[in-house]
Structure 1
Amino acid sequence: MKILVTGGLGFIGSHTVVALQQKGYEVVIIDDLSNASVDVVQGIKAITGVQPTFYQIDLREKQAVFDFFEQHTDLAGVIHFAASKAVGESMAKPLLYYENNFFSLINVLSALQHYGIKKFLFSSSCTVYGQGEVMPITEEESIKSALSPYGNTKQVGEEIIVDLAKVFPLQAVLLRYFNPIGAHESGHIGESPLGVPYNLIPYITQTAVGIREYLSIYGQDYDTPDGTCVRDYIHVVDLADAHVRAMEYLIQEKNQQQVEAFNVGNGQGYSVLELLHSFERVSGLKINYKIVERRPGDVDKAWANTDKIQRVLGWKPTKTLDDMLASAWKWEQKSRNNNN
């Protein structure tokens, strides 16, 4: 079976491509390379022995999207990662986020409807919950006003999918994941943001190797045990496995609803300082950091209740926080050595 993965050279996308290929699926990737490198194709091949088909396409260009689907009418399903994805950046560049995240989603869904492709997996986010009132957060948590343009694009993206399903027999899963970190154990693929990272882990690892002078921790006055934000961290390989299980759930037509949401997380919250201390433990290094002002758009705390995905998809996380950070550090060291 052939699966399209949009944004398939990105951090989560590339690990999901590996997991799909290891299950025997034929994978086609679309990526515009705005925040990824074409070198990732070779990293995927090094792990799986199979080079996925890759198309460099800007999904905001509707004609280019339809031209692609015209050549691939035999797709069994689509996993849609392609989106800008940093809360902080979205606060500074809201129109970029609305244009990129909405246009790409709408164009892909338009092509699915036109060509009758019904299996769709949407890369959503825990940001749809805003600041959850009760921890851990379940899928029944009320959807509040998003605290960032990024979170809003995920909220409205889910609504667009639900609305399409009312007039087209779309079968969709919304995976609301928490904070993906880590890297593939082989060291062939990992998180490689272009330019200055917006995500915490690559900033820590780049500080550890001396690329960044220090790590900025945004705020130490949150309503948490040590004052820093608390998040639920999930290993990217565990997250990739969740995507494969969700796609198979759709392909095997086990879903009871046209559109269904699942949380994906470890089910435990760690503060930024706890995360930093874990990294120092596995790396044997001390990280230079400064407490700076809060960053707009950040919630105090968020971690997942994962009972539903464990019960319905048979998925559960396998990696500890130390495992996650050790793999991220291994990836950073290997990628730096390869670039020197």
Structure 2
Amino acid sequence: MSLLITGGTGYIGSHTVVELLKLDKDIVIVDNLSNSSTLVLDRVKAITGKTVTFIKADICDEAALDAVFKHHNIKAVVHFAGLKAVGESNEIPLTYYQNNVSGSVTLLQVMAKHGVKNLVFSSSATVYGENNPSPLDETMPTSATNPYGQTKLMVEHVLFDLAKSDSEWSIACLRYFNPIGAHESGTIGENPNGIPNNLLPYVAQVAVGRLPQLQVFGDDYDTPDGTGVRDYIHVVDLAIGHVKALESLTKIQGCKAINIGTGNGTSVLEIVNTFKEISGQDIAYKVVPRRAGDIGTVYADAALANSLLGWQASRDLNTMIADTWRWQSQNPNGFE
């Protein structure tokens, strides 16, 4: 039996595929390659010595998904596929709702048609909105401040309603905090199209000379150095969280939201200074005004992941940044 990984050639998806292949799982990847490359499949094979079945298809294409389930004996799905840039979501909200929400509903309909009711969903800590104090736990009220966050929250609502309507579903809804890092080999890592939307790939591209300087959005927050504090988690720890979630689906009746974070906060300037120290490169930066909707401090309460999944993050900040720099310095232009 196979595992279907939607968005499996992306940043988090590819690292999760590596961890699953290490366990000799049979993997089918569906990806439309809108923000990734098939070149990652060669890198995954180089790391693991194993191949996957790759199908170029869009999760909004019901016929294509139906064919995947007809031709492959799928037992569970890990659903990564989705657009993920907050700024872009404000500019093209309909595209985000179509892809992230409608695409997810199409996937769920096809899963139900074929009797596959085991799912790990890629959600986000953005669903906690602006008004909850950290550490954030799964019992807190949810809200969203941008279309990207709304799409994650809407899919969560769909999943909870689906699980209430049919007790055969087992769904782990993983709320990520801030994934960074790369595989320790430097072979795969984050490879965003265009200007990076996230802090670490932006810092790494400044360090490698692709970008001139970093913009630090605000230095007047109520934090130790005035810059925003976030919960950064190594992408391999996050990938292992998906493995643990898949293994724990038999214990999950219905739909369960689970934080995947370290439980620790790190400021933007701590990231910059640690990156400078580890890489030996100067990181030019300029402080600019806060972005609308940003809040000072966000980090997880990850106790539920530990108790329910038997998972906790193990890689520290130095490892996260060293692995990021190894990836970026060995691959200054990404996979190309």
TM-score normalised to structure 2 length: 0.96
Structure 1 position 337, deviation (Å):
7.8
Q: CA RMSD in A?
A: 1.5
Amino acid at match of 2:320: M
- Distance in 1 of aligned mates of 2:304 and 2:297: 21
Structure 1 position 152, deviation (Å):
0.8
1:3–1:79 contact (8 Å) kept in structure 2: yes
Structure 1 position 300, deviation (Å):
2.3
- Distance in 1 of aligned mates of 2:284 and 2:129: 31
Counterpart of 2:82? 83
Aligned residue runs from structure 1 range 135-284, under 5 A: 135-143=134-142, 145-168=143-166, 169-250=168-249, 253-255=250-252, 257-284=253-280
Structure 1 position 264, deviation (Å):
0.6
Unpaired runs of 5+ in structure 2? none
Q: Which deviates more, 61-70 or 81-90?
A: 61-70
Counterpart of 2:11? 11
- Distance in 2 of aligned mates of 1:23 and 1:299: 39
SS in 2 for 1:76: strand
- Distance in 2 of aligned mates of 1:140 and 1:293: 32
Q: Which deviates more, 124-133 or 11-20?
A: 124-133
Aligned residues: 335
Counterpart of 2:107? 108
Structure 1 position 338, deviation (Å):
8.2
Structure 1 position 339, deviation (Å):
7.0
2:39–2:335 contact (8 Å) kept in structure 1: no
Counterpart of 2:49? 49
2:328–2:334 contact (8 Å) kept in structure 1: no
Counterpart of 1:37? 37
1:92-147 deviation line (CA, Å, top 9, x unaligned): 3222211111122011101011111010000011011012533211111111x311
1:222–1:300 contact (8 Å) kept in structure 2: yes
2:191–2:335 contact (8 Å) kept in structure 1: no
SS in 2 for 1:28: strand
Counterpart of 2:291? 295
1:131–1:300 contact (8 Å) kept in structure 2: no
Unpaired runs of 5+ in structure 1? none
- Distance in 2 of aligned mates of 1:174 and 1:132: 21
- Distance in 1 of aligned mates of 2:77 and 2:175: 17
1:179–1:233 contact (8 Å) kept in structure 2: yes
SS in 1 for 2:237: helix
- Distance in 1 of aligned mates of 2:2 and 2:196: 33
2:137–2:301 contact (8 Å) kept in structure 1: yes
2:37–2:335 contact (8 Å) kept in structure 1: no
Structure 1 position 221, deviation (Å):
2.5
Amino acid at match of 2:191: S
Counterpart of 1:315? 311
Counterpart of 2:301? 305
Q: Which deviates more, 56-65 or 268-277?
A: 56-65
Structure 1 position 286, deviation (Å):
1.6
1:181–1:201 contact (8 Å) kept in structure 2: yes
SS in 2 for 1:187: coil
SS in 2 for 1:166: helix
Amino acid at match of 2:133: V
